[in-house]
Amino acid sequence: MQKALSYTDANFDRFVEELKDFLRIPSVSTDPNHKDDVNAAAEWVAQNMRDMGTSHVKIMPTDGHPIVYAEHMVDPSKPTILVYGHYDVQPPDPLELWDSEPFDPVVKNGDLYARGSCDDKGQMFMHAKAAESYFKGTGSMPLNVKWIFEGEEEIGSVHLPKFLEDNKDMLAADVAVVSDTALFGTGVPSITYGLRGLAYVQVSLEGPDRDLHSGVYGGAIENPINALAKMIADLHDENHRITIDGFYDMVMPLTDEERTTFASLPFDADEWVAEVGASESKTEAGYSVLEGTTARPTLDCNGIWGGFTGEGAKTVLPSLAHAKISCRLVPGQTPEEITDKLQAHFEKHCPPTMKLTFEDLHGGHGALVDTNSDAMKAASEAMEGVYNEKPYMVRCGGSIPIVADFKKILGQETVLMGFGLDSDAIHSPNEKFGLDRFRAGIDTIIRFMSIYATK
């Protein structure tokens, strides 16, 4: 293992240069104009894996963007890990808010700025470079490794569950390992054991069949924007609880033990709130900020539009109003269940003056992973080796829906070993990844491979 760590040390600057090349490819999965770039990123990943000496690398097509699969099998009696990451990225918009070009990576004060630097190109690349360090540094690998890198995570991993179904034997492993989450704080090692799910819908109301003069019709024809705004406002009560019938029925409650642990985590809620420029926090009554952001379900209107939104004033009574609404779900809840309950709610509360259209955009299951598995113990030891401190076990408010499928389809637990920070601005302008964390991630993965190999 020491030789692998020394190899990383000796080659780290090159690793960073390679990562920059990877980040120059604008693999925006949601944008059809970037389809060639998404393919180019898959090719780049495959070539990089081949260059490090992994002979078994293939680009596997799906009905959407391709999946890069690689494996390095050393000994069937040794454990096998399945590493997962995504090479697609979010759109860089709004471009004017970036201080440098999103696809022209630059290092400033030890941070690498580019779209995807943290989510997830930088983090998935830690796995590639940890393996290279092991392989080239020691001449072999301590265990069997399989990698899948997908190009559709940011659009809901549309084709990945079927890929898992279709390739169960190929993907057989003792545990899945994912680096696509955040550390609890700067220099605070942590392993994530919970992810939230997601239910995403779009709701539209139609009132009159065309936009009307608000002086001629206002006062006798109901306005769809007013009606939709009221329905959305009514989705929370005065305790900031969600008012949809049965919304909390399936919620797995936090155990007393978990709540005690949450309360003992090194977290300053005031500082956290101040950092986003909000004046104070707003949580569901009875729950802390940390509980609210990671272990309780939410409902947020993500966008609302209709009528006149241009410069100046136009006296219009619009025909249409639209909203995008998403719920973060906790284990126990399913996207199907919540989407049905959302639909029933909107149908029940839609005023008789309005025609409702309800669309299910996408969803994903949350996950809680076993914190006592050998793989978790190995991950914890590996992190401690790098940070000289035992990692905290934390839950994450974001979603990586495929983690539930690793369990359901492949029967695998997942270790979520991420090195991002909330302040890395993933999905936002000026996304970054600290090179110290890129390094710590590679070192941790090397240690993990070595320790887990003997579990």
Output 7 or 163, the one with its CB closest to ligand BES.
Answer: 163
Query: Closest Cα to residue 101, out of 91, 113, 116, 119?
Result: 113
Output 18 or 119, the one with its CB closest to Mn ion.
Answer: 119
Is 180 an interacting residue with respect to ligand BES (CB under 6 A)?
A: yes
Considering only residues 254, 396, 402, 442, which one is a binding residue for ligand BES as defined by CB under 6 A?
396
Cα first-last separation, the chain = 15
Q: 152 touches which of Mn ion, ligand BES, none (CB within 5 to 8 A by kind)?
A: none
Strands 355-364 and 144-150: unpaired
- Quick check: helix, strand or coil at residue 429? coil
Considering only residues 18, 111, 132, 180, which one is a binding residue for Mn ion as defined by CB under 5 A?
180
Q: 182 touches which of ligand BES, Mn ion, none (CB within 5 to 8 A by kind)?
A: ligand BES
Is 29 an interacting residue with respect to ligand BES (CB under 6 A)?
A: no
Residue 141 φ then ψ, to 5°: -120, 145
Output 113 or 247, the one with its CB closest to Mn ion.
Answer: 113
Is 120 an interacting residue with respect to Mn ion (CB under 5 A)?
A: yes
Is 119 an interacting residue with respect to Mn ion (CB under 5 A)?
A: yes
Is 119 an interacting residue with respect to ligand BES (CB under 6 A)?
A: yes
Q: Which stretch binds ligand BES (CB under 6 A): 245-253, 317-325, 342-350, 399-407?
A: 399-407
Residues with Cβ within 8 Å of 101's Cβ and at least 6 positions away in sequence, in order, are none
Strands 144-150 and 111-113: unpaired
8 Å CB contact between 304 and 322: yes
Shortest CB 401 distance to ligand BES, Å: 5
Helices 2-23/121-138 angle, 10° precision: 140
381 flagged as catalytic: no
The per-residue b/e assignment along 383-410, b for 16 or more CB within 10 angstroms, e otherwise, is bebbbeeebbbbbbbbbbbbbbbbbebb
Cβ count within 10 A of residue 62: 16
Is 174 an interacting residue with respect to Mn ion (CB under 5 A)?
A: no
8 Å CB contact between 57 and 46: yes
Considering only residues 132, 153, 291, 413, which one is a binding residue for ligand BES as defined by CB under 6 A?
153
Shortest CB 90 distance to Mn ion, Å: 6
Binding string, 264-303, against ligand BES, x = CB under 6 A? ----------------------------------------
424 flagged as catalytic: no
DSSP per-residue letters across 100-116: S-TTS-EEETTEEESTT
Is 364 an interacting residue with respect to ligand BES (CB under 6 A)?
A: yes
Q: Which stretch binds Mn ion (CB under 5 A): 13-21, 175-183, 209-217, 258-266?
A: 175-183
Helices 121-138/435-452 angle, 10° precision: 50
Residues tagged active-site: 88, 153
Interacting residue ranges for ligand BES, rule: CB under 6 A: 119-120, 153-154, 156, 180-182, 198, 364, 396, 398-401
Interacting residue ranges for Mn ion, rule: CB under 5 A: 119-120, 180
